[in-house]
Structure 1
Amino acid sequence: MLLFILGLIIFFGAHFFSALARGPRGAMISKIGEGPYKGLYSLISLAGFVLIIFGWRGADASVLYSTPLWMRHVTYLLVLVAFILLAAAYLPAGKIANAVKHPMLAGVKVWAFAHLLVNGEVRSVMLFGAFLAFAVIDRIAVKRREAPVRAAGPVMNDVIAIAVGGVAYVAVALYLHRYIAGIALF
């Protein structure tokens, strides 16, 4: 359990520092440069992520709550929406990205919430709860910074985001989830 918790602290500590400690972050970038800062941030995040993965098996799997079987279908639908939002975040802006303003954070929130609906063991609540809390807090921080929103592009950008998100969702749901999370969905 210690590795798992340490991984969460390191991973989200790096993310919270980057998102919320704008003054110290800026000072560090000024001191070492943007490229080295991004490299350091990536290495720390990766170290935390690796610790989360290795600590997962030893983390507390006691069940806090269980949900009805049909809730899986709600989760599947929400995760599809999350994949589309994540695709919209990294493709040219369309109406989806413009409507939600920060599709990556919205996608993470939807993904984490969906997983909390069906994963009631302690380690899952800690993991997905941490992702949800981070995305909510980061969204509030971004809103306070008044970051500019990209102008909406043509509707074709949304069609592409839906297609890319849908294909990624199908790949994860039918094949990759068993390797990512150790659980085959179908």
Structure 2
Amino acid sequence: MTVLIAGLLLFLGVHSVRIVADGWRGAQLARLGEKKWKGVYSVAALAGLILVIWGYGLARQQPVALWSPPTALRHLSGLLMLFSLVLLAAANVPRNSIKARLHHPMLLGTQLWAVAHLLSNGTLADLLLFGSFLLWSSADLVSAIGRDRRAVTHYPAGTLRGTLIAIVAGVALWVLLAFWLHGVLFGVRPFG
């Protein structure tokens, strides 16, 4: 569990700088320049992600069961993941109505991803991993909304084309993950 916790602290800590120390972040950006800042940030985030993956894998070898989720929650989890992946796609597709309306679809998608996995998994490692991401994404969403209000941020209107691309990409990613890739990467097949 120690490796998982260390990874979560590093990965989510790096991603929390803007939440807790936005002024310091701005000063470092100015001092280092955007490329150097992004390089340091990326190396730290990647190291944290590697520790999270390794630590979660280690924790799964000796699971500490907290609850046993009913099978029905797997289906609800699958539905939530569909919406989560559409939101993830919307965060990366320019000029779509989802991003225009929700403003921060990646954070909302992360929240749904975390809730979906908390519903269908019941070990201590799951609670630490997905619970941490749920708490972080909720705090980051509140912070991002506050920054938008202070900066009077306006999001460009979405187009039908951008919206359809986001939806199709999210659904395609969901099908790929749900019926093949999740099993290959994580050894768990959500639907069989």
Specify the alignment match of 1:37 in structure 2: 37
Specify the alignment match of 2:56 in structure 1: 56
Asked if structure 2 preserves the Cα contact closer than 8 Å seen for 1:10 and 1:44, the reply is yes
Alignment of 1:1-186 (within 5 A): 1-59=1-59, 61-146=63-148, 148-185=153-190, 186=192
The alignment's TM-score, normalised by the length of structure 1, stands at: 0.94
Matches of 1:182 and 1:16, distance apart in 2: 30
Asked if structure 2 preserves the Cα contact closer than 8 Å seen for 1:4 and 1:54, the reply is yes
Deviations 1:101-121 (A, max 9, x none): 211111111111111111110
Asked if structure 2 preserves the Cα contact closer than 8 Å seen for 1:78 and 1:111, the reply is yes
Cα distance, 1:95 vs structure 2: 1.9
Matches of 2:159 and 2:24, distance apart in 1: 38
Asked if structure 1 preserves the Cα contact closer than 8 Å seen for 2:99 and 2:158, the reply is no
Gapped runs of 5+ residues in structure 1?
Answer: none
The alignment's TM-score, normalised by the length of structure 2, stands at: 0.91
SS of the equivalent of 1:107 reads: helix
Q: Specify the code of the residue in structure 2 equivalent to 1:121.
A: T
Superposed CA RMSD = 1.4
Cα distance, 1:22 vs structure 2: 0.6
Matches of 1:133 and 1:149, distance apart in 2: 26
Q: Specify the code of the residue in structure 1 equivalent to 2:55.
A: G
Aligned pair in 2 of structure 1 residues 179, 18: CA closer, same or farther (>3 Å)? farther
Cα distance, 1:184 vs structure 2: 2.4
Runs of 4+ displaced beyond 6 Å: none
Deviations 1:14-54 (A, max 9, x none): 01114431111111111111111111111101101111111
Q: Specify the code of the residue in structure 1 equivalent to 2:28.
A: M
Asked if structure 1 preserves the Cα contact closer than 8 Å seen for 2:98 and 2:158, the reply is no
SS of the equivalent of 2:65 reads: coil
Asked if structure 2 preserves the Cα contact closer than 8 Å seen for 1:20 and 1:138, the reply is no
Matches of 1:81 and 1:149, distance apart in 2: 24
Matched residues, percent identical? 39
Cα distance, 1:140 vs structure 2: 0.6
Gapped runs of 5+ residues in structure 2?
Answer: none
Asked if structure 2 preserves the Cα contact closer than 8 Å seen for 1:5 and 1:52, the reply is yes
